[in-house]
Amino acid sequence: MDLVNEVTTQTAKNTVYKEGVVLSLISYVLRTYAYLVIGTMLTLVNIPVFLVVITRKAL
């Protein structure tokens, strides 16, 4: 009986560990993708705004 409990516990620990690794990898990829998307959007918005502000100050 102890052997069954030990094997079951070890299998459960391995499953949780593998799922944790997969979840952390997915989280890392999504976080990196979010930084790239948000950074690109900020750049695309800030360049025209900067040009408008500079043009108005020059006039």
pLDDT tens-digit series, residues 17-38: 666 666 777 888 888 899 999 9
- Quote the domain boundaries for residue 7: 1-59
Number of domains in the chain: 1
Residue 7 has pLDDT above 80, yes or no: no
Buried b (16+ CB within 10 A) or exposed e, 31-59: eeeeeeeeeeeeeeeeeeeeeeeeeeeee
Residue 8 has pLDDT above 90, yes or no: no
- Strands (DSSP E) along 1-59, which ranges? none
